[in-house]
Amino acid sequence: MSGDLLVLVESNTTGTGRLFPEAARTLGLHPVLLAADPARYAWSGAVEAVRTDTDSTEAVVDACRALAATRRLAGITTSSDYFVGTAAAAAAALGLPGHAPDAVAAVRDKGAQRRVLAEAGVRVPRFTVTGSVHETLEAAGSLGYPVVVKPVTGSGSLGVRLCTDPDETARHAATVLAREHNERGVPVPRRLTVEEFVTGDEYSAEVQSGAVVGVTRKHLGELPLFVETGHDFPAPLAPEAREAVTAAAEAAVRALGLTLGPAHVELRLGPDGPVLIEVNPRLAGGWIPRLVQEATGVDLILETVKAYAGRPSAPGATPRGGAAIRFVTAPGDGVLSHVDGVAEARTAPGVIDVEIYREPGDRVALAGDFRDRIGHVLARGDSPAAAAAAAAEGLHRIRPALLTGEEVPA
C-alpha cells in the first residue's frame, strides 16, 4: 500500500461522492472510507473501508488517529452535507487542513448563518428562527405572507415549503417540528427559519478557495415546493448581474470563514439585486461539479481533494461552451415498473450521459425534495442554451411507468 491517506467521512448517496476516491488516487493519495455501513455505497468495495460510528465525532477522531499511527494522514474530508462538521472537527483534532469547527457549526445552522451574514452586510431575506407552531405563526404574520418555512439544518430542499396562509403554515410547521431525525437517522434540531419569499430566478455560485469559479442557473419545480429539476452552467447572466452575484457570494464566504476548499452559495436575483439564500460548506450536489468540468475544464472534486490534503488549489477556468442537466422525477407514488426511452435519450444530439437511479420493483414516492429524482440526462453544447435544449430533449424521451393501487404486488 502506497501514498498518504485521504480519509472520507461517509459520502453522499447519489451524485459525485463516488468520484472522490478516483480524485485522491490521481494525486497519489490512498483513499480510506469511514462509514457506519460501508455497504450502503455501491463503490465501497473499491476502497479501503473502516466501519466507524460516524454519528460520533470522538469515534471518527479515534479512527483517524488509529490510521495515522501507521501511515501518514494527508487530509480528512467528506462529500456529504451531513458530515462536514464531523470532518472539520476531526481535521482540527489532528492538525490537518480544514475549516474551524465553530465556523462550520455556524454555517450548518441556517439561523446562525443568516445572523453572521446580515451583520457582515450581506443581503439576506428577512427572517425569524422559531421553535414552535405558535412562534412560527407569529413570525409569518409579522413578515407578511407568503413565507418560506424550513428546518434550520438540512439540504436538498428537505422540509422547505412556501406557505401562503396561517393554516398551511401551522400544518407544515407542525410536520417539520415533529421530526426528531433526518433521513439518515441523525438527530436534528427542532427549530425552523421563517423568511420572506424573494421573487426572481435562482442561481448558485460555485466557490473554490474563496473565489467564484462560475455561476449555475437552477431550475425549480412547481411551488409551493422547491425541488431542483435541473441546472445550466454557466448561467446566462448579463455581465453586471454576474458581477453582483459573484461579489455577494465571495463576501458571504469571507464573512463565514469558508476560504478553504469548496462552497456552494445559493442566491436569488431579486428586483433589487442578488439576495443570498444560503451557503453550504461543501461542493454542490446535483452533478453541478460535472457541469463545471464539461463547460470549463475545472475539476472541482480534484481541487477539493487538493485543498483538504494541503496541496495548492487555484483552478483556472477555460470557457468551452455550456453544460446542463435535467432530472427524471417520479410521476407519482407506487412501484417502478419500467423506464422507457433511455436508449433514445442517449442518442439525442448533445446528450453525453443518461442514468436511472432506481431499479424496476423499487418503491417510489413523491417527497417534495431531492428524493423525487430517479435519474438524469446530462448534455453539453456550444453554448449554455444549446446544452439546455439538448438536456430537455433527452428528458422528453424518457417515460417512467409505475404500478399503483391494486397493480402493486403484495
Which grid cell is 26?
490521481
Is residue 268 among the annotated active site residues? no
Whether residue 199 contacts residue 268, with contact meaning beta carbons closer than 8 Å, is answered with yes
Nearest residue to 262 (alpha-carbon basis) of 233, 325, 305, 231: 305
Whether residue 292 contacts residue 213, with contact meaning beta carbons closer than 8 Å, is answered with yes
Give, to the nearest 10 degrees, the angle between helix 101-108 and helix 110-119. Answer: 100
How far is the C-alpha of 346 from the C-alpha of 251, rounded, in Å? Answer: 41
**Amino acid type, 339:** V
Give residues with Cβ within 8 angstroms of 13, minimum separation 6: 40, 41
**Residues facing 208 on adjacent strands:** 211, 262
Q: Active site residue: 108, 282, 380, 397, which one?
A: 282
How far is the C-alpha of 248 from the C-alpha of 277, rounded, in Å? Answer: 11
CA gyration radius for the chain?
A: 21
How far is the C-alpha of 284 from the C-alpha of 295, rounded, in Å? Answer: 15
The residues carrying an active-site annotation are 282
